[in-house]
Structures are given as C-alpha cells and as structure tokens.
Amino acid sequence: MSGQDIRPDRHVLLELDALLAQIETLVAEGDRARFDADDHYRWVIHRLWIAAGNEALAYARLSGRAVRAGQPWGRLYRLRNMLAHDRLPDIDEDEVWRITALRTASLRKQIRELLS
C-alpha cells in the first residue's frame, strides 16, 4: 500500500504516533536534569511537540473536530502554540517536562485506539 492509499486522517494519526514514539525514546534516554541542562535535548523535545501539535491540528481539520475544544487535540495544539510562538524565556518548562514525562504514553494509547 502506498502513502496515497491511506486515508488522510489515518496518515496524520500514523505521523502523530511516530512523533510520540520519538518523544518516548527521548524520555527514556534522559530525565528532568538532562532536560534542564542540555539545550539541544530540550530543543529537540520542543520541536517534536510542535510537529505533534501540527498533526493534531491537521487531524482535527480532516475529521471535522474543533481543535481547541476536543481532547487530546486542544491540549496538543495549545502546547504547540506555546512552544512555537512564545519567547524561550517565557516557556513554562515545568509544564513541557510534565507533559513529556507523564502524558506521552497515554496520548500514544489514544492515538493507537483511533488507528485500530
């Protein structure tokens, strides 16, 4: 099956699952101390969350959902907006790490349920 044979909404969910898998890998390779001390590690996590938020927005649009009202789409989109538009000193890194460390697995579970 080629990429063109996959429904657009399903393709977005597959992309989102892959992004969350990358975040899970980074969480396994580090901890809060590394997140605070390693600018590159933190920046990569930020960038992956921005990409995940873009996919959440795409899925909401393709499925006719309100991105800001529905979960987990609203949460992902809000995090994306904070990371993409706020100045680095203004980002709540405690919130970013909490979501990264505590929510990634449950978000992946929700995505996989939609894929099944």
Q: What is the pLDDT of residues 53-93, one digit of tens each?
A: 999 999 888 888 777 776 788 889 999 999 999 999 999 99
- The continuous run of DSSP H or E covering 64 comes out as none
Alpha carbon distance 13, 114 (integer Å): 8
Contact assessment for residue 25 and residue 104, using Cβ atoms and an 8 Å cutoff: no
pLDDT (tens digit per residue) in 94-107: 999 999 999 999 99
* pLDDT value at residue 6: 64
Return the SS3 of 40.
Answer: helix
* pLDDT value at residue 44: 98
Residue 114 has pLDDT above 70, yes or no: yes
Strand segments, DSSP code E, in 48-103 are none
* pLDDT value at residue 27: 96
Confidence of residue 1 (pLDDT cuts 50, 70, 90): very low
pLDDT (tens digit per residue) in 2-55: 545 568 888 999 999 999 999 999 999 999 999 999 999 999 999 999 999 999
The pTM assigned to this predicted structure is 0.90
